[in-house]
Structure 1
Amino acid sequence: MSRVREVVTLTGLCLQNIAENMQNFWMKDYVMKNMEEYNFLFIEGPFNQLAGPLVQELIRILGESHKLNKGCLHLLLQPHLSELSLRPCAGLVNVAIMQLVTVRCKHLTSVDLHSCNRVPGPSLAALMEGLPRLTKLCLADTQCDSLVLEAIGRSCPRLCELDISRCKKVSPSGLLSLVYDPKSATYCCRALRVLLLEDVKPKGGPEQWAQALSFVLLALPYLEELSNPSLPTALSLLYHGRFTEGGACFNGFPSLAEVAQTRVPNVMNHQTSPVPPKPGHQRTSMMKERLRLKKLEDLGEEDVPMFGSLCPLVDKVNISLGSQSLVTWSLVQWPQLSELTLHCSEKPERTLEEFLAMVQVIGKNLQVLCVQNLLWCQDQSLTNLLTMCPNLKSFQGYFTVLRQNLLPDEPELPPWPGDPLPLPHLHTLRLLMEGDGSSQAIFQHKLGGSLVSILKGSPLLESLSLCGVTAPLDGVFEVVYGSNPPQPLQKLSSVSLCLSNVSQWGASLILRSRSNLRTLDLSHCKEVTCRDHHQLQERVRRDGRNVTITWM
């Protein structure tokens, strides 16, 4: 059956037509008359009449098709733009282009300069000083420095999101310039909710970064996300009240104890009158206040109780598991948790089974669940886990299957259950397996039955990846696609069966379905031959479908 082709909107066709004719038609007159006037302020022409979002979309199309140049930017940098992303043409952006943006685009609320690293700090600072309406700003991988951060703090009071990841000139003391102005002794950027600071450690040691992040956490009462490897250390410092004794930790800035005194207790309850803590009771004060952080990454499991108490609003968490089981923590302190990742960073020594009861407590709220590098000891553990999480949208599981001790008189393999496992919202399922236990016949059979139930109960599944799965997938797809209406797996667009037990028959069942399939990966599938691969490709060609089939 022919695949339904994507419908291109009339607006999209018009913009593509403009992009195709940009050089030969739209740029011709401008290049002849005005190209050398880099500060040409007002341009009469079609683009000052085009809605701002359409101008931005045209910049994206031209940038991704490598048809954008400085002349095009001169035409497209219009005063009525409210959002501007120069990421698609980062290599073209220089001081002259920044001056044009600074002079022309006064009403911007969102700016993305990701990888525009040819622009020096003073030019970035001048731009920030002219954009008081900014609410979202990306300066990742630029020459952003203390001067730029100071300009942002002083000039952008509405800023809610800031990304300064991979900025090599950002230092711990410079970061403080974002949230505090020493000249006026006032706090800045109080509306900031998201601050991304990944890979910005060339200057300053871990202790300085921890102190700087603690300062930021105290100075920004509504901060919901702070991305940096030193965040756990900073949170520990705040929890235990280990504030710097003997003055400020950075010259010209208040000490952490002084910043803590300006905090409004119970900011989550929107109280407005500051109540300074009594001397020597900083830890008690912090424990009463709590932080608004909603996302925590790379937590050690030993820190979960502490950070759960300090950050009760967390809805996304990534927990790193040690080699030994710790029974002193749970997830009940995060009732709003919607995304959970559990992973062993080294050799898997923890079992999936020991976390089932823990996940059950918050399972109904989970939308994204990722369990990585765990041992799988009991064949029904996957079914039990997914049953606890009926509202999942995405599941990723990477397991090492242990060999089970089976009785010599193992009974005949039971028939697969026909009932679906209800996962009405699941759109992504990824399962990677290895280990000796996966080769046992009873495990393969029971896993096949689990997959039948999961696939039959996931009507919205779009992406399916089964890597190293030794269950008989031909039989699994036979049962699933042979189900009574409604036909399952109608939303599938991507299927990967790398290293799994599937033959041409199972692959053809997927191709014969009515799904909007785009990619089918059969890499390293031993039961699929080169001839099978050619026959599957020929079938797709005959049906007039646009499906990419990968095989090695």
Structure 2
Amino acid sequence: MPPGGDVETLSSLCLQNIAENMQSVWMSDYTDKNMEEYNFLYIEGPFNQLTGPLVQQLIRLLGDSHKLTKAGLHLLLQPHLTELSLRPCAGLVNKAMVQLVTVRCKLLTSLDLHSCNRVPAASLASLVEHLPRLQKLYLSDTQSDSLVLAAIGSFCQRLRELDLSRCKKISASSLLTLVYDVKNGRFCCQALRVLLLQDVMPHGNPEQWVHAICFVLLALPYLEQFANPSMADAMRLLYLGKLSPSDFPPENFPSLSEVAKTRPALEDKKENTRTRVQNHMLHLKKLEDLDEDDASTLGSLCQRLEEVAIALRSQNEGSWSLVQWPNLTHLILHCPECPQRRLEEILTTIHPISKNLRLLSLQNLLWCHEESLSTLVTWCPNLQSFQSHLTVPRHTASHNGPELPPWPGDPLLLPHLHTFNLLLEVEDVLHPNFVHKLGGFLVAVLKGCPKLESLSLCGIPAPLDGVFEVVYGSHQPEPLQGLREVSLCSSNITQWGVSLILRAKNNLKTLDLSHCKDVMCRDYHKLQKMVRQDKRSVSITWQ
């Protein structure tokens, strides 16, 4: 077997064979005889013998290759399915197809209808009424409205994840029907943990929309993730305790204050007691696009946070801390505008929780001192994913020293790291010390991450030929054996450095050399020839 070659499973090969022969073998007879019959429950044939996951994989294969037809989808909607995603074939899904799902697939616990926008709301509502086992439901970019949300609230009491992103017909009042049944006077969807309303904007009065989000946050005491552009405004009202708006809620719905009183007491693990927390403490574990100004105030409502994305201001105008979130494992810090905040400014903020971090993403920051990035990564030994987009400004200060020392031989130990992305934008020619320290940092990282699968080094001015020569010249065990994806766009590397990667023992599948000015056309052809001779399946991009 060639280095890094993958052996396809027998089931995968069989599914590919079925997909290639679907039209000529499996669908011709069915199309002629049964295409217009929507309500029969069973189809004798090979597909009712496949396990549910294999049927779903076949739907994905056919959908991604644009080989799935209406007849093929009819055949694959099997009664034993527990999970079904029609996302790969959304264009085929209409009212009749949804009726077929309603009749046949009564055991579904997960249903994905993303972008199935040809299905009317009444059909969607009828569908969810017949699927009480649902735990995951994805209706983003569909015609979902108050009728659908009311049906979900009334019939899907096991639901844990719901995606209603980009559903343009959702209003403030329809959002309330999701979590409260007016007819029976009870709260609904109490098992819900994830509710996504991304790109859903309010209709009419924006204040009522914010109040509706407050209602949902209070009505779902165990909600862990809620995504919507107005989320921060709603949390601000909760923090200030403004729960008595004059024109909200609509008739027959309880007031915000009444909803707040129904929330169960939260358990204080430290004191081993259960208390009703002031300021309406939320159970949220993930917050997106939290403004830096709100990090201390609104963040105090969510002390169980595990993942947070914070938008940094152009200037640091106040102090905030991550210590209030002892469970934090995923941290994203980004500047929405042009980079004006220095990496060095946020080091002390990250340090207290650095050992807990599994994912760290730093986007659109200035990197001014050559040691700061190495210091930061050293503080985070449990990282699984590191992603960064940094700008090195002009006139980066670095003292002239003696002859540059060799790169350090000790690895920077990151035993769990599987993704490392470093994208640099350099505004001027860098001082040799900065470039040298950058190369040494990369050597230490690459030697210390045995589980690395995805590596992206874009715009790197350090000589990557030397970096990979040192890394692959190190002693056993052989480094980077799990590497699958490598991007070196616009970086300082030649055909020699790239050949070291291709000759190494790894699982490489894609290699991006776009805009690498020292890789010529003849080099590209040599690399392609090398891959062919080694009988490896590596896709190389170059221009």
Contact 1:262 1:274 in 2 (8 A): no
Q: Deviations over 1:457-484 (max 9, x none)?
A: 1111111111111112111111111111
Task: Please report how far the alpha carbon of residue 492 of structure 1 lies from its aligned counterpart in structure 2 after TM superposition.
Answer: 1.4
Mapped partners of 1:463, 1:106: distance in 2: 40
Residues 118, 290 of structure 1: CA spacing in aligned structure 2 closer, same or farther, 3 A cutoff? same
2:169 is the alignment partner of 1:169: yes
Contact 2:268 2:274 in 1 (8 A): no
The 5-angstrom pairing of residues 313-462 of structure 1 reads 313-402=304-393, 403-407=395-399, 410-436=401-427, 439-462=430-453
Code of the residue aligned with 1:491 in structure 2: it is G
Mapped partners of 1:487, 1:208: distance in 2: 60
Task: Please report how far the alpha carbon of residue 352 of structure 1 lies from its aligned counterpart in structure 2 after TM superposition.
Answer: 0.8
Tell me which residue corresponds to 1:306.
297
Tell me which residue corresponds to 1:474.
465
Higher mean Cα deviation, 13-22 or 187-196?
13-22
Q: Deviations over 1:369-428 (max 9, x none)?
A: 011111112111111000100010111121122323345x63221221111110111111
Code of the residue aligned with 1:239 in structure 2: it is Y
Q: Structure 1: where are the runs of 5+ without partners?
A: 276-284
Code of the residue aligned with 2:12 in structure 1: it is G
Mapped partners of 1:393, 1:338: distance in 2: 10
Task: Please report how far the alpha carbon of residue 217 of structure 1 lies from its aligned counterpart in structure 2 after TM superposition.
Answer: 0.5
Mapped partners of 2:250, 2:375: distance in 1: 52
2:16 is the alignment partner of 1:11: no
Residues 536, 72 of structure 1: CA spacing in aligned structure 2 closer, same or farther, 3 A cutoff? closer
Task: Please report how far the alpha carbon of residue 509 of structure 1 lies from its aligned counterpart in structure 2 after TM superposition.
Answer: 1.5
Task: Say which SS state the counterpart of residue 436 (structure 2) adopts.
Answer: helix
Mapped partners of 1:305, 1:540: distance in 2: 53
Mapped partners of 1:386, 1:438: distance in 2: 25
Contact 1:264 1:289 in 2 (8 A): no
Mapped partners of 2:417, 2:143: distance in 1: 41
2:260 is the alignment partner of 1:260: yes
Higher mean Cα deviation, 130-139 or 430-439?
430-439
Residues 131, 236 of structure 1: CA spacing in aligned structure 2 closer, same or farther, 3 A cutoff? same
Tell me which residue corresponds to 2:140.
140
Pairs aligned (count): 540
Mapped partners of 1:248, 1:436: distance in 2: 53
Residues 493, 162 of structure 1: CA spacing in aligned structure 2 closer, same or farther, 3 A cutoff? same
Task: Please report how far the alpha carbon of residue 200 of structure 1 lies from its aligned counterpart in structure 2 after TM superposition.
Answer: 1.4
Residues 59, 550 of structure 1: CA spacing in aligned structure 2 closer, same or farther, 3 A cutoff? closer
The 5-angstrom pairing of residues 217-256 of structure 1 reads 217-246=217-246, 248-256=248-256
Tell me which residue corresponds to 1:292.
283
Code of the residue aligned with 2:110 in structure 1: it is S
2:55 is the alignment partner of 1:55: yes
The 5-angstrom pairing of residues 82-161 of structure 1 reads 82-161=82-161
Code of the residue aligned with 1:232 in structure 2: it is A
Contact 2:452 2:482 in 1 (8 A): yes
Q: Deviations over 1:306-357 (max 9, x none)?
A: 1232101101000011122144211001111111011111122211111112
Residues 347, 50 of structure 1: CA spacing in aligned structure 2 closer, same or farther, 3 A cutoff? closer
What is the CA RMSD across the aligned residues, in angstroms?
A: 2.2
Mapped partners of 2:214, 2:124: distance in 1: 26
Residues 463, 307 of structure 1: CA spacing in aligned structure 2 closer, same or farther, 3 A cutoff? same
Task: Please report how far the alpha carbon of residue 274 of structure 1 lies from its aligned counterpart in structure 2 after TM superposition.
Answer: 11
Residues 248, 258 of structure 1: CA spacing in aligned structure 2 closer, same or farther, 3 A cutoff? farther
Task: Say which SS state the counterpart of residue 330 (structure 1) adopts.
Answer: coil
Contact 1:239 1:287 in 2 (8 A): no
2:461 is the alignment partner of 1:487: no
Percent identity of equivalent pairs: 63
Contact 1:168 1:202 in 2 (8 A): no
Tell me which residue corresponds to 1:278.
none
Task: Say which SS state the counterpart of residue 195 (structure 2) adopts.
Answer: strand
Code of the residue aligned with 1:64 in structure 2: it is D
Mapped partners of 2:496, 2:44: distance in 1: 63
Residues 508, 205 of structure 1: CA spacing in aligned structure 2 closer, same or farther, 3 A cutoff? farther
Code of the residue aligned with 1:312 in structure 2: it is Q
2:487 is the alignment partner of 1:496: yes
Task: Say which SS state the counterpart of residue 213 (structure 1) adopts.
Answer: helix
Mapped partners of 2:518, 2:4: distance in 1: 30
Tell me which residue corresponds to 1:36.
36
Contact 1:3 1:546 in 2 (8 A): no
Mapped partners of 1:160, 1:548: distance in 2: 39
Mapped partners of 2:58, 2:7: distance in 1: 19
Tell me which residue corresponds to 2:518.
527
Contact 2:398 2:431 in 1 (8 A): no
Residues 462, 205 of structure 1: CA spacing in aligned structure 2 closer, same or farther, 3 A cutoff? farther
Task: Please report how far the alpha carbon of residue 157 of structure 1 lies from its aligned counterpart in structure 2 after TM superposition.
Answer: 0.7
